[in-house]
């Protein structure tokens, strides 16, 4: 299977940005700009905007994602949101294990694994984030770090289920820093992730998984990154908050 038969997905990660009126304005601006996209378009918004986003994107080609999900179905987990709560409002995607969750909120590969399985069980499509710190890259252990994350984050996930997942390779040093991995650096790790998936699940499953790059992807550098064989899309932070920039990335992904 080749890149051109995998689903290209451009997902915006709004992080902790946009009040409801601001979210409405951004979605209103994005919709017409991406209406004829040749790839899947997803906006992952703060919880408070999910219902609005689902309502506003009905009948359009824009899908809605959350930025996290808890792994238990219900119970005494103050401040958390379950997978069923997300599907109930019409959310289809969920970001899991973003480096900001790992860095600031104690997320571990074990909880990423639990969240991934809970999301899959509820019918959500997980966007599972992996990536190395700058120090780990400098120590030449990028493959060791990312390989370990893939093994642990997908522990006990079946080959059928892994095909429903999206993996976002996000070198931590490139997130929100303006430092993008070069297209060759990004391709090297995305190809490694696919080879690791092939070891764990076989070649057919590995070839079916959409692997995104994330880390300061923008309107200017997207085309070069997205032209690479193993980069099937992008997880976009800063540039997803500006409709014309986000739409330009969607256009680049549509060309592949
Ligand atoms: C992200 O938050 O997933 C991300 C890639 O952010 P940015 O595009 O701003 O680097």
> Phi-psi region for residue 225, left (φ > 0), alpha (ψ -120 to 50) or beta?
alpha
- The Cα–Cα gap between 6 and 83 comes to 26
Q: Which residue's CA lies nearest to atom 8 of ligand 1?
A: 237
Q: Dihedrals φ, ψ of 63, to 5°? A: -100, 160
**pTM summary value:** 0.97
Q: Dihedrals φ, ψ of 159, to 5°? A: -60, -40
Which of 98, 100, 132, 248 is flagged as catalytic?
A: 98
pLDDT of the residue at 3: 74
The architecture of the domain spanning 9-242 is Alpha-Beta Barrel (3.20)
pLDDT in tens, the chain (256 residues): 467 678 899 999 999 999 999 999 999 999 999 999 999 999 999 999 999 999 999 999 999 999 999 999 999 999 999 999 999 999 999 999 999 999 999 999 999 999 999 999 999 999 999 999 999 999 999 999 999 999 999 999 999 999 999 999 999 999 988 888 899 999 999 999 999 999 999 999 999 999 999 999 999 999 999 999 999 999 999 999 999 999 999 999 997 6
- The Cα–Cα gap between 109 and 154 comes to 9
Q: Which of 167, 170, 222 gets mutated to test ligand 1 (max ligand atoms within 8 A of its CB)?
A: 170
Ligand 1 atom having least distance to the Cα of 178:
10
Please tell me the distance between residue 122's alpha carbon and the centre of ligand 1 in angstroms: 26
What lies within 8 Å, CB to CB, of 86 at 6+ separation is 50, 66, 69, 94, 122, 124
Query: Which H/E stretch holds residue 25?
Result: helix 20-33
What lies within 8 Å, CB to CB, of 243 at 6+ separation is 26, 29, 30, 33
For the chain, what are the domain ranges?
9-242
Q: How far is C-alpha 53 from the geometric centre of its chain's CA atoms?
A: 17
In the residue annotation, 70 being an active-site residue is answered as no
Helix (H, G, I), strand (E, B) or coil at 205: helix
């Amino acid at each position: 299977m080749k890149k051109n038969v995998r689903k290209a997905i451009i997902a915006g990660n709004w992080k902790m940005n946009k009040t409801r009126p601001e979210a409405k304005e951004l979605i209103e601006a994005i919709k017409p700009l991406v209406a004829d996209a040749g790839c899947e378009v997803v906006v992952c918004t703060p919880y408070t905007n999910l219902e609005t986003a689902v309502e506003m994107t009905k009948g359009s080609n824009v899908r809605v994602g959350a930025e996290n999900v808890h792994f238990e179905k219900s119970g005494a987990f103050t401040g958390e949101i379950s997978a069923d709560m997300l599907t109930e409002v019409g959310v289809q995607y969920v970001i899991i294990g973003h480096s900001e969750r790992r860095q600031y909120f104690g997320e571990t590969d074990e909880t990423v694994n639990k969240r991934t399985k809970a999301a899959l069980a509820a019918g959500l499509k997980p966007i599972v984030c992996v990536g190395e710190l700058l120090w780990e890259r400098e120590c030449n252990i990028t493959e060791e770090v990312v390989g370990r994350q893939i093994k642990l984050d997908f522990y006990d996930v079946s080959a059928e289920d892994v095909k429903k997942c999206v993996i976002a390779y996000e070198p931590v040093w490139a997130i929100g820093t303006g430092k993008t991995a070069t297209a060759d650096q990004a391709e090297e790790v995305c190809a490694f992730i696919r080879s690791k998936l092939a070891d764990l699940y076989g070649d057919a499953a590995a070839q079916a998984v959409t692997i995104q790059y994330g880390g300061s992807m923008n309107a200017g550098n997207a085309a070069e990154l997205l032209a690479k064989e193993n980069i099937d899309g992008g997880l976009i932070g800063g540039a997803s908050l500006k409709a014309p920039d986000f739409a330009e990335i969607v256009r680049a992904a549509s060309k592949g």
